[in-house]
A and B are shown apart, each in its own frame.
Chain A
Amino acid sequence: MKAFATLLDRLVLTPSRNGKLTLLADYFRDTPDPDRGYGLAALAGGLDLKSVKPAMLRDLVLERMDPVLFQYSYDYVGDLAETISLVWDGGAKDVIDDDHQPRLSEVVTKMNSLGRTEVRSAVRDLLDKLDTSSRFAFLKLVTGALRIGVSARLAKQALSDMSGKDVTEIETLWHGLTPPYEPLFAWLEGRAEKPVLATPAIFHSVMLANPVETGDLEKLDPADYAAEWKWDGIRVQMSSYGGTKKLYSRSGDDITGAFPDVVGSINFEGVIDGELLVGGTARSNNPTRTFSDLQQRLNRKTVTGKMLDEYPAFVRAYDLLFESDRDIRAESFLERRKRLADIIHDAPHDRFDLSELVPFTTWDELDRIRIAPPDPVIEGVMIKRKDSPYQAGRLKGPWFKWKRDPYNIDAVMLYAQRGHGKRSSYYSDFTFGVWAETPDGEELVPVGKAYFGFTDAELEVLDKFVRDNTVDRFGPVRAVRAEPDFGFVLEVAFEGINRSTRHKSGVAMRFPRIARLRQDKLPRDADRLATLTAMVEAREG
């Protein structure tokens, strides 16, 4: 437990990706089985652990502590797990030494073996045995709130770093394995053969595309690539084998239960990659409907008959990973597509169709097609190398996404916050706003936050402006001067915009970044909230 707790303590405070990778790889290298496997599962979100209610933890601590002193402590720290880890029984100055602390694997096994009535005393016992930082890690694990900024993807990259194995190979295996992943570590350390999948009817990590950036395409021969539309739905994976039929989101969440209309229509065996959409398939001659219609069906555990009628779902198929139980991911995109076409041909016409290829001969031609797509639910085009195998992860080269031009607005810098790591002496996180009509007249309202997109030289300019024009400070945040005739205008680019009830402005941008510094403009020239609202409305059609 000690090693895992130390890792968490460092990860929480390490903002840089490379720093996190170093810490993770060192942990996986230095920690024995099966502890590191459970640690990996906890970080990658796959650890199954009996949970404990915060109310029970509070009861346990009050068995031994004055409630007033506990309340003072909790008010000061602000986080229940951390408060308890710090105040528990007067501290851990002379408890069990590091070498005899309970191991992470023991804690997991113990917790999962408990009956309902045994939990309370077992938790008390563990809290007594663990030191302060292990107590914190334990409490975070059992309350299910391990928010430390590590994605499953990052954990796998660390496995790749420690072993020299390709991360896509690890991705390919991942969903067929379970904690504590001993066969995986044995293979990573060259002590065993690569683990073999028992059945294809599991989630397989998906292949992702990189955005087209300036100069990317010039070097490439258009004849080597195929293009297809990029639809604005959600990416899914259907897997069906031996009577098991599943629908997974792109991150591997099982969403089978919410889409009985799609899953019930599966009449094939294999694993298909596609876009989940609402409306009619191309073969049914009904239009594909917008993302906000699809949203009606998302994030639900079950679905009513009325929803099924009003928002019928279907899958537009992009790719085939397994044909029945045969892994064909190593074959070329065109070869896989040919087999996919056969399967879709025989599948129910109202629930499945094949994503059509978009013919083109030059990049300029494709550019024109991309800017004016024939359907409002199209976001742009996908460009796939004809001979590319299906490789999990986001590799640069085989697949690109080329969206319609991003949105742009001129906004005014309102607040700035210092960055992390090598940016820790720079104000590099900017909250920006636009003009809106309020009861007090025209005011700047915050609409988003951006912390990249600028060059190092531009950051110097931004940082200097913040330091020279601070009007207020709130902890690490500075408010800067923003008046109609004085302030800093930023051109902000973003990928999409939606309505939001969480933001005061009522809109939320996707992927905002600072495209240009507009020192040529005054804040009074910046955009108005109405412009953004209109973008949302245009998007919703």
Chain B
Amino acid sequence: MKPEALLHPTPAGLFCPIGRFHVDPVRPVERALITHGHSDHARAGHAKVLATRQTLDIMRLRYGEDFCGEEQATAFGEEIDVDGVRVSFHPAGHVLGSAQIAIEKDGLRIVVSGDYKRGIDPTCAPFQPVACDVFITEATFGLPVFHHPDPKDEIDKLLTSLKQFPERSHLVGAYALGKAQRVIRLIRDCGYHEPIYIHGALAKLCDYYVGQGIDLGEIRPATIEKSSPDAFKGAVVVGPPSAFQDRWARRFNEPLIAFASGWMMVRQRAKQGGVELPLVISDHCDWPELLSTIEEIGPSEVWVTHGREEALVRWCELKNIPARPLHLVGYEDEGD
């Protein structure tokens, strides 16, 4: 069987005609397999959804009780038969509950990585390589310029800045699912134990992470009603980056804008966004991690999705690994 017969791109997303399911579809479908809870991968309105327990919980938190018609939870490594296709979920190391999905039929195995990373992250299970014939990799940071530094060094920059500018509120931009909780956990691991203030948009997900056993220390809402602006002097405030351009940010004292993202590797990106303190912390692979993952798994073919596909395809060509871009649309980088 040709791999395309088992799985191929369609306008709705990757589709398996034999098992009659989509993976991370961008529009409502009959049956969806979801890799993780970021809104570009996990959308509401599917009839049936198969995902990890945590991903289903996160979808419910974000979209409400009726986020889908019927849900089915699976554990890592469990094998499920979907209309004659063998399906299993494996940790992707991206955010809480994130999974790669292995799809197998007649000895042919395709692994859809979803979004993944190889760096250490105490807020989710680490990536596990799964042997396969076709590896479908993301390429969010698929350019040789991306080398994510040790996230603790980045957090040290934040803590140094708090000492240098003790009167300024440090506003740390971090996306609501995954990045925010990871950043808070990292700040704690680097020895900062003051209360951390969060934007309202993060509250539900932070509570969920804490409920899953991830200690985030003392978290307080960054609401002005309860306290004077002075309360935020020298404080760490975590919120979605979009909020910092909004009137919301005016409650803070001389805010110093930080942003935790892999994109902060490039100075011009930081400058355009008005970021004073870029923190290069990513939930995706950097370039060397993408390359080493492909070499480690050793698939006979690589398909590249969302991101800078052409550079990774070029690298595969140079290494004589058959590769092609999938040109899937609809995936922005909510997670980074």
Contacts and interface: CB of A to CB of B under 8 A. Distances in A.
Interface of A: 9-10, 12-15, 19, 22-23, 26, 65-66, 68-70, 72-73, 76-79, 82-83, 86-87, 90-93, 132, 418, 420-422, 424-425, 475-476
Interface string B239-269: 0000011111110001111000000011110
A475 B244 CA distance: 16
B272 A425 contact: no
A22 B163 CA distance: 11
A78 B145 contact: no
Given A79-B268, A91-B147, 6 more contacts: A12-B271, A13-B276, A13-B277, A422-B254, A425-B247, A475-B272
Given A72-B311, A476-B274, A91 B288 contact: yes
Contact of B245 (A22, A26, A86, A424): A424
B315 interface: yes
Query: Which of A10, A13, A70, A78 has most chain B Cβ within 10 Å?
Result: A13
Contact of B271 (A13, A68, A418, A425): A13
Contacts of B275: 13
Contacts of B145: 73, 76-77, 83, 86-87
9 contacts: A10-B277, A12-B267, A13-B271, A15-B276, A19-B256, A22-B165, A23-B164, A72-B143, A93-B147
A91 B291 CA distance: 13
Closest 9 CB pairs of A and B: A91-B147, A86-B145, A425-B249, A87-B144, A72-B311, A73-B145, A13-B276, A422-B254, A424-B274
A425 B248 CA distance: 8
Query: Which of B268, B274, B318 has most chain A Cβ within 10 Å?
Result: B274
Contacts of B308: 72, 76
Given A13-B270, A87-B144, A425-B249, A66 B278 contact: no
Interface string B9-38: 000000000000000000000000000000
Interface in B215-252: 244-250
B336 to A, nearest CB: 15
A132 B147 contact: yes
A14 B314 CA distance: 37
A92 B149 CA distance: 9
Contacts of A65: 144
B40 interface: no
A324 to B, nearest CB: 47
Contacts of A92: 147
Contacts of A83: 145
Nearest to A464: B247
A69 B314 contact: yes
Query: Which of A70, A87, A91, A476 has most chain B Cβ within 10 Å?
Result: A91
A476 B164 contact: no
Contacts of B245: 418, 424-425
B274 A418 contact: yes
A14 B276 contact: yes
Given A90-B288, A132-B147, A425-B246, A77 B266 contact: yes
A83 B149 CA distance: 16
A77 B145 CA distance: 8
Contact of B255 (A23, A78, A422): A422
A82 B267 contact: yes
A369 to B, nearest CB: 44
Given A22-B165, A66-B314, A66-B318, A78 B265 contact: no
B1 to A, nearest CB: 33
A83 B248 CA distance: 35
B304 to A, nearest CB: 13
Given A73-B145, A76-B145, A77-B145, A19 B165 contact: yes
Contacts of A78: 268
Nearest to A72: B311
Contacts of B256: 19
B104 interface: no
A87 B164 CA distance: 31
B71 interface: no
B310 interface: yes
Query: Which of B145, B146, B265, B315 has most chain A Cβ within 10 Å?
Result: B145
A65 to B, nearest CB: 7
B165 A420 contact: no
B303 to A, nearest CB: 19
A72 B271 contact: no
A422 B143 CA distance: 34
Given A77-B268, A93-B288, A420-B274, A69 B164 contact: no
